[in-house]
Amino acid sequence: MKQASCPRPSGISTRGWMEGVALLVVAFAPLFHFADAHAEAPASRNVKSARIAGMMSQLRGQPDASQALSFFVIPQTQIFVDAWTEYSPTDCTVVSTGAWTVNRKPKFGKTTTATINGQLGNGDCPGVTFQFAAIYYTWTSPDKVGATADPFTATWSSPDYSTKDVVSITLTAPTNYAQTGPGVAQPNGTLHFEYSWQSTTGSLTDLSQCQVGENVKYPGTANPYRWPSPPYNGASPNPTVIWLAATEGGLQDNHSHAAFLAPYVANVFDATQAYRYRCTGLDAVSFPNWSNITIERSVADSTGKGCWNYTISKSGSSASVPRLPGVPKSACTALEVVSAEDAAIPQADLDREIGISIQPPDTDSSQHAPIRVELGVVNRGPRTVSVDLGLNKVGNLQLTIQDPSGTQHLRTLRRVGFGSIGSFVLSAGASQTQKILLNEWYDFPVAGIYRARISLLAETDDESEVAASSRPSAEFEVRIGARDAAALRHTAEQLADTATSDAPVAERMEAANTLSFIRDPVAVASLVRVLTQGKLVEHYAVDGLARVATPDAIAALEAARNSLDEDLKSRAAVVLDALRKQGERPEEHKQ
């Protein structure tokens, strides 16, 4: 007789079934029930009970009266927990599939039962297919309080036997969020922090469906928040919400300030920050003890003689600008303070040991198409060196573009804010590569040949051509052909397919971000699909629709402003406000 399989019941996803079996682990040495572990069967009947095949490899030990089972789960995904049957070993027939009773119900999920087919796990009746009573679990709650455990107990009973399962359920989620080291004062009053976290499973790769992020709320309810003017000139989304892939395991947070505006006046205001996580099927959750962090910014006259300075404080650390732009040194003569800019340590000879390279696209690109290149960093020296690509692994890169007309453009991405850590260590001769999206720096608006150079800046460099020319760099060409609407539409649809799939969050984020930089009307339909069907990547669609800004794109943003998702609603409001102000600028210039 052929070896029987263990088919899943109707309506149970293959993924949920396999994850349930694969994730089954033993908590405090759970033990397998052999037939003699149950109540004695009547002497007149030769009957036994057994688990379904596939469970034996997950359990070890000697017979015991209870089973302790442990599972890691992801939200909204059904997992297989256990299955039993009572049978006759004499003629290999089912006596009773029995039934499950949940003694202690789970708080954040639900249990379901079904009858499934499979073989006996104890080796009896090889090749014979039996029916089993199976029990499943699904974490259904969008819980916002950060619960990660959901234990329950269930008893399987047949006419002659019973067994009790003590089930430990642990949500696969980020945990143990921690600050790594003190805050560090950087040039221009930037306050730098680094943080790390772990997974409840012990492996960061298991967080492929999760993100870690920040939520910063500014005073009042206006969105965006206009910084007090003077002494500042600028605005921030309120709240400011940013997410990273949780598989990163760490992030940096560089707190900066809006531009300063004279005449200066004394001012103090606070923002409140929360570090959070979310997973597919789970609402945003603040990490315990990381939800009410005060960020204080102040501008004051430190001498009473017009020596205006700026200070930012958070978590016991601070950074400052001892003398604001335009303040004469004579006003601060009583202060023996050297600014971070004046005290900066010159870049060492390490620059000669670090080399960078660019692998350009294999084929020409059309107007508005995404352009991805591969950046390589190599240590050419004899010693181990530390390299810092900056915020999000690109903040310390500068792109110099010479367009087809010969005009030169300098581009850098933001170097401050919340993002992934860009520093790493290279041993002698070692190298590291990563993909970068050139469209984030420059739009390549016309067809032709662009000559480009990417340079690696230091944190203390300004963003001038002089600084870039002395740093490690690589030159390359980008060839842009005429707009190809059909190719652009196809690319946009492929990116939207990935962004709305069940792929790991990092892949979905990369696809959605790339799509958001196709500044072409043909991308609107794909952007709307990500906006309405995306999972944890909808905010990229908001940014992309704002870049296209056609009437149908604006209509989609207006609809998003009424979203039940507060983060999405807030982001839509900010970009619509920015678009409105762009539309007003021509009138302002006429006045």
Question: What is the per-residue pLDDT across 74-127, written as a single tens digit (0 to 9) for each?
Answer: 999 999 999 999 999 999 999 999 999 999 999 999 999 999 999 999 999 999
CA distance 34 to 63: 6
Find the mean pLDDT for residues 345-374: 81
Find the mean pLDDT for residues 415-426: 93
CA distance 497 to 245: 19
Least confident stretch, 1-15, 199-213, 338-352:
1-15
Q: Which carries the bigger pLDDT value, residue 350 or residue 197?
A: 197
CA distance 311 to 320: 4
Least confident stretch, 35-44, 385-394, 418-427:
35-44
Find the mean pLDDT for residues 563-569: 90
Asked if residue 37 has pLDDT above 80, the reply is no
Q: Are 111 and 82 in contact (CB under 8 A)?
A: no
Predicted confidence band at 143 (pLDDT cuts at 50, 70, 90)?
confident
Mean pLDDT value across the chain: 86
Predicted confidence band at 470 (pLDDT cuts at 50, 70, 90)?
confident
CB neighbour class for 348 (10 Å; exposed up to 12, middle 13-18, buried from 19): exposed
Q: Which carries the bigger pLDDT value, residue 3 or residue 317?
A: 317
CA distance 456 to 432: 14
**pLDDT, tens digit, for every residue of 317-358?**
999 999 999 999 888 875 444 444 444 334 445 567 899 999
What are the φ and ψ backbone dihedral angles of 483, each rounded to 5 degrees? Answer: -60, 135
Report helix, strand or coil for 205.
Answer: helix
Asked if residue 135 has pLDDT above 50, the reply is yes
pLDDT at residue 542 in the model:
97
Among 109, 105, 38, 112, smallest CA distance to 82 is for 112
pLDDT at residue 468 in the model:
53
How many other C-beta atoms can be found within 10 angstroms of the C-beta atom of residue 396? 22
pLDDT at residue 11 in the model:
33
What are the tokens at 475? 């030159």
CA distance 20 to 72: 8
pLDDT at residue 362 in the model:
79
DSSP codes, 112-166 = EEEEEEE-BTTS-STT--EEEEEEEEEE----SS---B--EEEEEE-SS-EEEEE
CA distance 536 to 175: 19
pLDDT at residue 458 in the model:
83
Residue corresponding to tokens 């005449």: 263
Asked if residue 62 has pLDDT above 60, the reply is no
Find the mean pLDDT for residues 31-56: 61
pLDDT over 90 for what percent of the chain?
76
Task: Tell me the residue type at 283.
Answer: D
What are the tokens at 157? 């009973």
pLDDT at residue 30 in the model:
31
Find the mean pLDDT for residues 189-193: 96
CA distance 169 to 81: 10
Count Cα neighbours of 427 within 13 Å in the Cβ-side half-sphere. Answer: 0
pLDDT at residue 144 in the model:
74
Find the mean pLDDT for residues 568-575: 93
Q: Which carries the bigger pLDDT value, residue 142 or residue 168?
A: 168
What is the bridge-based pairing of β-strands 365-366 and 473-481?
Answer: parallel
Find the mean pLDDT for residues 226-247: 96
DSSP class of 427: -
pLDDT at residue 66 in the model:
57
* CATH no. for 14-171: 2.60.40
Among 14, 147, 154, smallest CA distance to 75 is for 147
* CATH no. for 350-481: 2.60.40.10
pLDDT at residue 387 in the model:
93
pLDDT at residue 151 in the model:
97
What are the tokens at 258? 């809006």
What are the tokens at 523? 């991308």
Among 529, 377, 345, smallest CA distance to 456 is for 377
Beta-carbon contacts of residue 313 (< 8 Å; ≥ 6 apart): 191, 295, 296
pLDDT at residue 436 in the model:
95
The residue ranges of every structural domain in the chain are 14-171, 175-332, 350-481, 486-590
**pLDDT, tens digit, for every residue of 151-189?**
999 999 999 999 999 999 999 999 999 999 999 999 999
Q: Are 254 and 228 in contact (CB under 8 A)?
A: no
CB neighbour class for 90 (10 Å; exposed up to 12, middle 13-18, buried from 19): exposed
Q: Are 316 and 191 in contact (CB under 8 A)?
A: no
Peptide bond into 322 cis (omega under 30): no
What are the tokens at 413? 């991405």
What are the φ and ψ backbone dihedral angles of 253, each rounded to 5 degrees? Answer: -130, 110
CA distance 224 to 238: 5
CA distance 580 to 57: 63
pTM, two decimals, is: 0.83
What is the bridge-based pairing of β-strands 365-366 and 354-359?
Answer: unpaired
For 65, left (φ over 0), alpha (ψ -120 to 50), or beta?
A: alpha
What are the tokens at 37? 């572990």
What are the tokens at 125? 């009746």
DSSP codes, 268-335 = EEEEEEEEEEEETTS--EEPTT-S-EEEEEEEEESSSSS-EEEEEEETTEEEEESS-TT--GGGGTT-
**pLDDT, tens digit, for every residue of 281-297?**
889 999 999 999 999 99
Task: Tell me the residue type at 169.
Answer: I
pLDDT at residue 68 in the model:
85
